[in-house]
Structure formats: structure tokens, C-alpha cells
Amino acid sequence: MNGATLKLIDLRSDTVTRPGAAMRAAMAAAEVGDDVYGDDPTVNRLQARAAELFGHEAALFAPSGTQTNLIALLTHCQRGDEYIVGQEAHTYKYEAGGGAVLGGIQPQPIAHQADGSLALADIEHAIKPDDFHFARSRLLALENTFGGRVLQPDYMKAATELVHRRGLATHLDGARICNAAVKLGISLRQAVTGFDSVSVCLSKGLGAPVGSVLCADREFIGRALRWRKMLGGGMRQAGILAAAGLYALEHNVERLTEDHENAVYLARGLSDVAEIKVDLPETNMVFADIPAGKCSRLAQALGRKGILATVEPQMRIVLHLDVSRADVERITAAFKEFFGG
Ligand SMILES: *Cc1c(COP(=O)(O)O)cnc(C)c1O
């Protein structure tokens, strides 16, 4: 086979999924209006559907998960407030410090446990007393899935109840909450129980090209709307994008199971290679330890086979809508050929 004719397999992230023919047809057929006037019927339908699925009163469509998380921080917290968050959480580490830069909101990061959770004792300890020396502890932000791992419902319940008792609010960065729900075999609504606001990415494993939704109560979403406008997230005939999101919620949630099964299948294949140490994946991400001295040559070898991956000593391989079981066979074969196994 010639490299140019091979289908490219992109394992860098589940953000790389491209809209397929049926999703594009839904986008092309979308009824639109000016969403800043609240006139776009497709955006309104997406927001209503997301609210219903996640068990909240209302929802807001925005261009990215970075923006829905930031809107949530700005809506929950005032200048001088503080939010408790994981040291490796997306909201804290990978969103350019937006809450601090734009909201004057101080993050209080705490270390993760081995399973990705934040220890309840650490959360409790991080809540500051009401004293003018301190920022006001206002919010706990958790993330599920976190590094491909699923936080368990009883943990989420305990953590949200703990901070609610102490007067804090709760936000879930549920960029991949659908992966968690499908893995746990629970409804989306059950998966977000206990959270006052939830951000969900439509553009990851769900396969939409753009967009996230923020779900919360009606009063919160009313205030969030002003922040979205201020951040430049008010879009006009956004129904074209919302149609993709609606299609994703209707058709691409249950199928995430296939990505999880492909991840396990790939991990099993890679575990045949003596030089690779691989963990059993919980959702759509495989983490493999690659000998540091071989990373760049492995990246090149995979590239020659039409496989795009971020090869690092702690390598993350992400399965998604555009990677089939046959593609997984190709990936496994490419690794085995390179390692001679
Ligand atoms: C991708 C992601 C986001 C949002 O990212 P955008 O690229 O801005 O949509 C937020 N949280 C987590 C955990 C993510 O993986």
C-alpha cells in the first residue's frame, strides 16, 4: 500500500473528528435565525434538548468548552472569590487562566489522587473560613472523565454534598461526561447529579465540529448569557452549528461504547509488545509508556503508516468516531512492526 492512499488515522485527540455525511446534511437543512436575538430555532432546540438530557432547567450554546467553563466561573464567582479545582484540571491548567485574568477569580488547585479524584479531606481543608485575610471560597469545579478515567457517582455525590453543606456551589467540566455516563451505564442526568452547572463538549467524541453547552437553572443561564456576549460568544445564524450538536446528542452518545471497546482492544494488542507498558483503559484513552529513546523514531514509523500520534514517554492515544476496529488492527500492526514483536 502506498502512504498517500491510506486513510489517515489521527490519534492525537477526539477533537479531530470530522462531521460525516448525515451530520452535514442536518447542518445544511438547519433552520436558522439570529441567535443574539434569541431567534435561532435550531440553537433553541439544542439548548432545550441539552437541558432536558442533563436534567437542568436551561442551557446555553457557546463556541467552545473553554468558553462554557469560563462563563460558568464568571457566573458563579465574583472578583475576590476562589474556586477549588484539581491541579491537572483543564479549567485550571489548560484554559490560559481565564478565570483569574478576566474574572479576578483565584484558583485554589489541589493535588489529584491516583484515581483522578480530589480527596474529600483535601477539598474540606481548602475551604477557607470567612475571614477578611482570605479570598472567599465559592465554588468546587470537578472534571469527568478526567484523563480518560471515570469518577464514580458516589464520590461525586459525597464531594458535591460536602461543599454544598459549606455554602459553595459546584461546577462540572463534563467535556467527556457522555463517555463517563455510557461507561457507567447511567443516564446523562444521573451522571451530572449534584452539580449546579455542567459544561459538555459536543466537539469531542460526540463528533460535532464546534460547540459546547452549559446547563444550569434558568436564573444562572440568564446571567451567563451576558458573560457569553461579553466574551464574544454570541453567534448569529449559529443553528448551522447547533444542528451538528443536536445530531451528535441524538446519534453519537451510545456509540461511545465502541470507542471504549476499541481502546481496550488496542491496549490488549499493545500489551503484547514487551517494551510497552499499557494500562487497561476505562474510556476512550489508552495510556502507554514508550521507551524515551524511541519516541521520535516511533512517531516517524507511525507517520509512514498514515498514523498521526503524539508520541511521548507517557503516550496518550485517543479513540473516537473516526477510528474503526480495522484501523485499530492497523495501529497494532504498526506498533508491532516497529518494536519487532
Ligand atoms: C476539550 C476540553 C475542554 C474544552 O475545550 P475546547 O477545546 O475549548 O472546547 C474542557 N475540558 C476538558 C477536560 C477538555 O478535554
Could you report the per-residue pLDDT of 293-327, keeping only the tens digit for each?
999 999 999 999 999 999 999 999 999 999 999 99
Give the right CATH number for 31-251 from 3.40.190.10, 2.30.30.60, 3.40.640.10, 3.40.50.800.
3.40.640.10
Nearest to 316 by CA among 119, 145, 110: 145
The rounded Å distance from CA 198 to ligand 1 centre is 13
List pLDDT tens digits, range 140-166: 999 999 999 999 999 999 999 999 999
Domain residue extents for the chain: 3-16+255-339, 31-251
C-alpha cell at 43: 440553537
The rounded Å distance from CA 221 to ligand 1 centre is 20
Q: Residue 110 — very low, low, confident or very high, per pLDDT cuts 50/70/90?
A: very high
The rounded Å distance from CA 209 to ligand 1 centre is 13
Q: Closest ligand 1 atom to the C-alpha of 89?
A: 13
pLDDT tops 80 at residue 4: no
Nearest to 144 by CA among 201, 196, 100: 201
Give pTM, 2 decimals: 0.97
DSSP labels for 144-170? SSBTTBPPPHHHHHHHHHHHHHTT-EE
Q: 59 and 215 in contact (C-beta within 8 Å)?
A: yes
pLDDT tops 90 at residue 211: yes
List pLDDT tens digits, range 258-297: 999 999 999 999 999 999 999 999 999 999 999 999 999 9
Q: Residue 6 — very low, low, confident or very high, per pLDDT cuts 50/70/90?
A: confident
Nearest to 89 by CA among 61, 105, 69: 69
Q: Tell me the C-alpha distance between 269 and 264, whole Å.
A: 9
First and final C-alpha spacing in the chain: 21
Q: Tell me the C-alpha distance between 114 and 99, whole Å.
A: 26
- Mean pLDDT, residues 41-64 taken together: 98
Pocket of ligand 1 (CB under 6 A): 64-66, 69, 90, 143, 173, 175, 201, 203-204, 212
Q: Residue 5 — very low, low, confident or very high, per pLDDT cuts 50/70/90?
A: confident
Residue nearest to atom 15 of ligand 1 (CA): 175
The rounded Å distance from CA 25 to ligand 1 centre is 26
- The region of weakest confidence among 243-247, 317-321, 337-341 is 337-341
The pLDDT, as a whole number, for residue 317 is 98
Q: Closest ligand 1 atom to the C-alpha of 146?
A: 13
Percent helix / strand / coil, the chain, rounded to 5: 45, 15, 40
Beta strands 197-201 and 212-216, pairing class: antiparallel
Q: How far apart, in Å, are the Cα atoms of 84 and each of 48, 213, 229?
A: 30, 22, 26
The rounded Å distance from CA 303 to ligand 1 centre is 26
Angle between helix 325-339 and 256-270 (nearest 10): 20
Give the architecture-level CATH label for domain 3-16+255-339: Alpha-Beta Complex (3.90)
List pLDDT tens digits, range 54-104: 999 999 999 999 999 999 999 999 999 999 999 999 999 999 999 999 999
Average model confidence (pLDDT) across the chain: 97
Who's near 37: CB < 8 A, 6+ residues apart? none
- Give ∠ CA 320-16-4 in degrees, rounded to 5: 95
